[in-house]
Amino acid sequence: MVLPTTAATVRLADVFTSCGAALRGEDNPLGLAPVSKAAVLLVDGMGAQNLEARRGHARWLTEKWRKRTLIGDSGFPSTTASALTSLTTGVHPGEHGIVGYTVRDPTSGALINHLKNWEPHVQPATWQRSPTVFEVAQRDGIPSISMGERRFDGSDFTKAVWRGATFLGTDSLADQFQRLREFFDENNRALAYLYWPGLDRTGHSSGVNSEAWIRRLEDLDQQLRELDSVLRDEEGLVITADHGMLDVSDDHKLMVPETSALLHSVTAWGGEPRVAQLYLDTPDATADVVAAWSETLGADAFVLSRADAIDASLFGEVANEVLPRIGDVLVLAVQERAFYRSEVASPQSMKMVGQHGSLTATEREVPVIPLGAWA
C-alpha cells in the first residue's frame, strides 16, 4: 500500500512554534528572523492547490506567497480541530490527542465532537494533552491574544487549544487588524493569533469550484492588502491555513443505512465524511470490516486497521492514552468520495459540497506566507 505524498516543505505544526522561537531570538524550522512581535493569521479552508488554481483572483496573496513558495503539511486528519491543535501545540494529533473531528471517548463511550461541547464526558484541560505556544510564551513573560468570532468565547475547543491566550471576540478581519495593531502598540513583546472562517464556510456550502468561493477569495485578497500598512519594523506575521478542500458531488456520496453489512460489528462511527473512524464491538471483527469496506470502495479509498494507521505514522507518534481514541477501522477517501451513516448524519453535513479530512495532497497542503519583518 502506497499512501499519497505531498509537496510540503514544512509542517503546519512548525509555523506557530517558529513564531514563538523568533520572539526569543532562537533558530526555528521556518528560518524566521528575530522579532519583538509575532502573529499568525489562519484562513480556514485555503488549501495551497485551491489558491494556486485561482491565483488570478488572489493576486496580492499569490505575489506574497511566491516570494518563498512555502507549502505546509497540515497533517492527518486534515480537519480543523486536529490541524489547529497541531498549529498551536507544535505536535502531531497522536500526541496532543485531537485525532479527528469526532472521536469516541474510551471511558464513557460518548462521541466527542471537538467543535461542540466536550463536557461532561471529557475535560478541555486534560483531553488536549500538550502545552500551547501561548502557555510557553506566558512562561517567558510574553503576553498573547487569540481572536475569532464571539461565539467561540468560552467554548471547550477555545479552552483547550488557545490555553494561555486572552480571547478577543471580533466581528470582521478589519476588526482583528485593528485589535492586533492596538495589542502590538501596548506591548514591547507580543504574540497573536487571528482566524478567518469565511472561505471554509463558502467551500462547504457551494464548493471550491463555485463562483461564490471565487468571490469570497477575491474579497479576502482585497482585505489582506491592509496588512502591508498594519505591520511595522520588528513585527512579523505568517498567513497560513488548516486544510485544503475538494468538491464531492451527491452521486459520489455513499449513504450507509443501519441495515448495511458495512455496519456489522460497528458500535460507533466517528471521524467525518471523508474519514470514517469505525469503532467495533470486538477487535476480532477488524479483518472482516476492513474486507467489507475494501470490497465496496475499491480504489476510491484506503481502508486501514488502527494498527495499520499507526504503523504508517498517519497520526505521528501515538501516546498510549490517545491510542483507544482512534477508530478500530479507518476509511480514508482518496478519490471524490464521502461516507455517511444515513440515519445519524445531519442534513447539513450530507448537503456539503466542499470536503476535507483525508490524506490527499489537495486536502493536506496549505500555503505558508511570511509577511512584515519576515517577508
For the packed helices 173-186 and 211-224, what is the interaxial angle rounded to 10 degrees? Answer: 30
Span between the terminal Cα atoms of the chain, in Å:
40
Closest CA to 331 of 292, 282, 281, 366: 292
165-208: per-residue pLDDT in tens?
999 999 999 999 999 999 999 999 999 999 999 999 999 999 99
Grid cell in block for residue 87 = 498549529
C-alpha to C-alpha distance for 80 and 114, rounded to whole angstroms = 9
- 70 sits in which H/E element: strand 70-73
How far apart, in Å, are the Cα atoms of 9 and each of 15, 69, 225, 374? Answer: 12, 9, 25, 17
Over range 80-86, report the average pLDDT.
Answer: 98
19-76: per-residue pLDDT in tens?
999 999 999 999 999 999 999 999 999 999 999 999 999 999 999 999 999 999 999 9
Closest CA to 178 of 138, 217, 229: 229
238-255: per-residue pLDDT in tens?
999 999 999 999 999 999
Residue 4 scores a pLDDT above 90: no
Q: What is the three-class DSSP state of 116?
A: coil
What structural domains and CATH numbers belong to the chain?
A: 10-91+130-245+359-372 (3.40.720.10), 250-351 (3.30.1360.180)
Predicted pLDDT of residue 303: 98
How far apart, in Å, are the Cα atoms of 110 and each of 92, 104, 198, 231? Answer: 23, 6, 30, 45
C-alpha to C-alpha distance for 308 and 290, rounded to whole angstroms = 11
For 333, other C-beta atoms within 10 Å of its C-beta total: 26
Provide the residue type at 169 as one letter: G
C-alpha to C-alpha distance for 233 and 215, rounded to whole angstroms = 32
Residue 2 scores a pLDDT above 80: no
Closest CA to 54 of 221, 242, 225: 221
Q: What is the three-class DSSP state of 364?
A: helix
**Residues in CB range of 135: below 8 A, 6 or more apart:** 163, 164
Would you give the DSSP letter of residue 263?
G
- 137 sits in which H/E element: helix 133-139
